[in-house]
Chain A
Amino acid sequence: MGERPGDRRFPGRPQPAGIEIEAHAGYQPGDDLRHLDWSALGRLDVLLVRRYTAEREILFHLLVDTSASMGCPAGDRKLAAAAELAVALAYVALSSNDAVRVALLGETPRLSRIHRQRASIGEIAELVAGAVASGAVVLGPAVEGYVRRHPRPGVAIVVSDLMVEPADVECAVHVLRARRFEVLLLHVLGPHDLEPALDPARNVLRDVESGAIRAVAATPATRARYREALGEHLGALETIAARTASAYARLVTTQPVYDFVTTDLARLGIVTRR
């Protein structure tokens, strides 16, 4: 639950002031007499004060992966889609009077201040638009470093291609969950991640982040085996999300971000239509 008053209601955690009555509690000396329930006193001859549903602002942590893999292959525009998605979600959050902080997890991490005004969306957009895909990012330690510096809980939205070991993703989710963050994994994939374009003239693959190489043959058998490995990887991510009570959604860059937000995320209840 947030620290600052806001529009987001948190049922189950009644507070002395508010709008919507959630419960009653026995009067204690010092309680505000304005909240004393005079009706209950007349009927039951018991001093009860009204408790209200807590309303707080939510701080959205938009953690955007800007590692080199987000820019590879360049035609997939994964980083651009991630940036667009982050701006869209920030806009939605600011429109809901929630706060937003954007962190770029890359070779040179960049961090925004906490934005609460919808007018700040331009500043956010400028920040993410300046992101450059470079360097290697290990998701677990990067997220852990972030929450150590900014422990105020909220909703952590991780936007990444998640081209890491599922165990590393799980580690990152656990780190967030341990600090009472709600976690939303937004998986950005390019079309070539789904169906790699193997060039027979280029027989060695180089990992853009680690520099490791692997020689493969451009054959239908290789493609089939890749698709199989991709399915296993996606399945593992979905399993982790379910196991850690995190939300998981997948965006393929060929899909418009607007459609993704208004359709896929709405279906998951992450955003609501008004």
Chain B
Amino acid sequence: MGFGVLQPAGAVALAAVGVLVALYFFGRSRREALVPSLLLWRAVPGRTVRPRRFRPDVLFLAQLLLLLALVGGLVRPYVEHGAEPGERVRLVLVLDVSASMQVRERDGARFELARRRARALVAQLLGGDEVMLVAAAERPHVVLRWTTDHGAAQGRLEALEAGDTPGDLTPAVELALGEVRARPETQVTVLTDVPPGASGVSAERLAAIDWVQIGRTDDNVAIAGVTVDRAAFRPTADATATVLVRNYAHASKHVGLEVRVGDALWARRDVAVEARGTTPVLLAHPPAWGMVTARLTDGDAFPLDDEAWAWLPDDDRLDVLLVTGSDVLAAGFHDLAGVVGGSRVERVDPADYAAAARGAGAAVFDGIAPPAAIPALYVRPPPGDGPCRSEGTVDDAAVVDWDADHPALRGLEALETVVVRRAYRLATPERATPAALAATERGAFPFLVLAERDGRREACLGADLDEAFDSSDGLPLLMLVLDTLRWLEEPALAAPLVVETGVAAPAPPGVVAGEGAGVRVAGDPPLVRADRVGVHHLGDRLVLANLFDDRESDIGRDGGGEWPATAKPLAGPTRGAREFGWWLYLAAAVLLAIEWTLWLRGVRTGHT
């Protein structure tokens, strides 16, 4: 059994106690009236005035009690008793813990406001009522299963916090509605900054939900993307970076942008962004290689997307062991080595490969596919059982599709112009990925297959590289080869992994399942998933996690408010409660009579 009040605002009337005390002191204070003489007043009984001492008399105490009784009645107090079994409430609280819930509103963070509301709802529950907590991130998490332990629910609510990941409210709401289907008396309350219309839940299903939308401000300028662009085997100084600054507010803004590479300042710009517009900021001539940090220096309501990270690699060097019997190919690679500074190309015959393999960055096997101890590019592989094999040849094939996001092909835009006179239809071994597809009139087939095995990278290319060096028409194919070699020679264990929060990315070789601060590796094949924005360590490898998500960064909300469930009303707040405010009013009436009597007596005796 507990006590509560239904109208806490009535406690404001307690200020009247202060007024009463002030009146008491005013009555005790000396306020003089001039008279011609006290001669005649000496016969009148006098009284003592002590302005500084608070010695309340019975009349004052009666007035104070009367006032307290009135205020007590005003706040509508009640005695709480446990809910009857037939009227017990089952409440599912769905809390949005997506990144946008970290937005700072005038009264506090959105998530804090939601949590406050959730705690108030739990506090209204009576003994025997059940509660279940669901956190809606990119997937729903049942934070607390059905329980009647409201203290535990309050504790879980206190421990909850909004994440840095994009959220998807729909599965969590569906989960809660599933509870409603199982037990129709279940009530669902969703606390989010997303309006019900944008929740992906149909209107008729929303009717069973108390939807509380929190948040209004649209004050957010975000770094919507950071792209570092450097052509393969070009010097780092030729690299560029593009920072997308997006204004999600409905008013234009000026923000400061600061970009650093490591500790060195790359650029500092004042960026003007139109309302709901995007301004790309192009940066050139980086001062160094390393981690690029872009930061908006002017604060806003959502600081999570004010900083972003990218990686600018060091200069590439071509260090190739060329295993071929083709003089044309060998001459072409030597020409390439002359163009790329600090490069080395060593040609060996296929028969001498085993003795020469040590020390090279990658090997290029032309027409053979032996197992290799170093990263290898197999060109026009033969059929058979090797790590890379072909399944026949076709004529006049063109590249028709490729994985533009793969690190080996990132930045290449001219692959559609790759046409080879003779192509090799590649097989896709286990744990290998077809990164580019070529096609003829008879169908498409893998043209470039990439794989990572035991921390070592392999690539198979179904083309004859002699064509790449024949004429300028072979330039796109040559670019594909160079990018693939760059990827093969990339120091796999040192290169940071750039990811977006909440988005799983394939774990690089050597990374094992586990959990770090803000980042997790799980699954088979292992996937990396960052939960927090920032720079994380995963073993020896850096993970750069950004929040590039329009849905989360677009924080402005129209309207806002609450949409109570129409299908089934909530149990009233007085359920299981017995008000006793009228008893206080009755007590006030009695006290008034007592006070009146005391006052009359004082008037008669002259002692008021």
Contact = CB atoms under 8 A, between A and B. Distances in A.
Interface residues of A, number: 42
Contact of B40 (A68, A206, A215, A229): A229
A164 B38 CA distance: 9
A210 interface: yes
Interface in B587-608: 602-608
Contact of B37 (A164, A213, A216, A221): A164
Contact of B48 (A164, A215, A233): A215
Contact of A164 (B39, B41, B602, B605): B39
B181 interface: no
B43 interface: yes
A219 B30 CA distance: 17
Given A164-B39, A228-B43, A233-B39, A217 B608 contact: yes
Contact of B38 (A161, A212, A220): A212
Given A201-B31, A220-B603, A228-B43, A209 B37 contact: yes
A204 B30 CA distance: 6
A34 to B, nearest CB: 60
A229 B37 CA distance: 13
A211 B41 CA distance: 14
A193 interface: yes
9 contacts: A73-B34, A78-B36, A202-B31, A202-B32, A204-B30, A208-B35, A216-B44, A222-B45, A225-B44
Nearest to A190: B36
A164 to B, nearest CB: 7
A23 B467 CA distance: 179
B383 to A, nearest CB: 114
B27 interface: yes
Nearest to A72: B36
B33 A207 contact: no
B33 A225 contact: no
Nearest to B49: A215
A233 B40 contact: yes
B23 to A, nearest CB: 11
A69 B32 contact: no
Contacts of B49: 203-204, 215
B47 interface: yes
Give the most central of A72, A198, A204, A233: most B CB within 10 Å: A204
Interface string B553-565: 0000000000000
Interface in B7-45: 27, 30-45
A215 B46 contact: yes
A255 to B, nearest CB: 18
Contacts of A232: 43
B36 A215 contact: no
Given A215-B46, A216-B46, A225-B45, A204 B38 contact: no
A229 B30 contact: no
A221 B603 contact: yes
A232 B41 CA distance: 12
Contact of A203 (B27, B44, B606): B27
B31 A69 contact: no
B35 A219 contact: no
B35 A72 contact: yes
A206 B608 contact: no
A205 B32 contact: yes
A163 B37 contact: yes
B33 A226 contact: no
A222 to B, nearest CB: 5
